[in-house]
């Protein structure tokens, strides 16, 4: 990943390695999207956001991927996550359960409203 320049990086979360690649891509300044099926969880979504991913797209939504990628390329970090939640909030509630946001309510409210301002967490090896 360090050998090239990318306009956009799309990563498939397959265990921990996907997060290692997310860390590398974000630390190099590449807008990065997480694509997942098996790792679809509230924890993986939150970790992706905190590590600097620009979107988190379940494979069930692959048919709708183009608008997400356009948003990532056109919008900055915070408004981009607001759009993700506008488009996928219902899907997340159906998948994770109606009360999935309650455990980290303040965090999810900031992200879904576009107010989340934390800088990406870059993991050092």
**CATH code, 102:** 3.40.50
| pLDDT for position 17 | 80
Other CB atoms within 10 Å distance of the CB of residue 35: 19
Other CB atoms within 10 Å distance of the CB of residue 25: 23
Three-class SS state of 75: coil
What's the domain range around 103?
9-113
User: pLDDT tens digit string along 46-104?
Assistant: 999 999 999 999 989 989 899 889 988 887 776 788 888 999 999 999 999 989 999 89
pTM (two decimals):
0.85
Number of domains in the chain: 1
Phi, psi of 91 (to 5 degrees): -60, -45
Q: Is residue 1 part of a domain?
A: no
Q: Is residue 106 part of a domain?
A: yes
Does the structure show a pLDDT above 80 at 16?
Answer: no
Q: Is residue 121 part of a domain?
A: no
| pLDDT for position 116 | 82
| pLDDT for position 120 | 62
Phi, psi of 36 (to 5 degrees): -150, 155
Q: Is residue 125 part of a domain?
A: no
Q: Is residue 118 part of a domain?
A: no
d(CA 72, CA 76): 7
Q: Is residue 47 part of a domain?
A: yes
Q: Is residue 45 part of a domain?
A: yes
DSSP line for 97-113: -TTTTGGGHHHHHHHHH
| pLDDT for position 12 | 84
Bridge partners of 11?
A: 34
| pLDDT for position 108 | 92
Three-class SS state of 36: strand
């Amino acid at each position: 990943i360090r050998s090239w320049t990318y306009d956009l990086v799309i990563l498939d979360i397959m265990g921990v390695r996907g997060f290692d690649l997310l860390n590398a891509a974000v630390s190099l300044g590449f807008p990065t999207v997480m694509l997942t099926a098996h790792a679809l969880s509230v924890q993986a979504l939150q970790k992706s956001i905190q590590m600097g991913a620009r979107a988190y797209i379940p494979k069930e939504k692959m048919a709708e991927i183009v608008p997400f990628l356009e948003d990532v390329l056109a919008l900055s970090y915070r408004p981009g996550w607001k759009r993700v939640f506008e488009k996928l909030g219902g899907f997340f509630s159906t998948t994770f359960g109606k009360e999935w946001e309650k455990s980290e309510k303040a965090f999810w409210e900031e992200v879904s409203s576009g107010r989340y301002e934390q800088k990406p967490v870059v993991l050092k090896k």
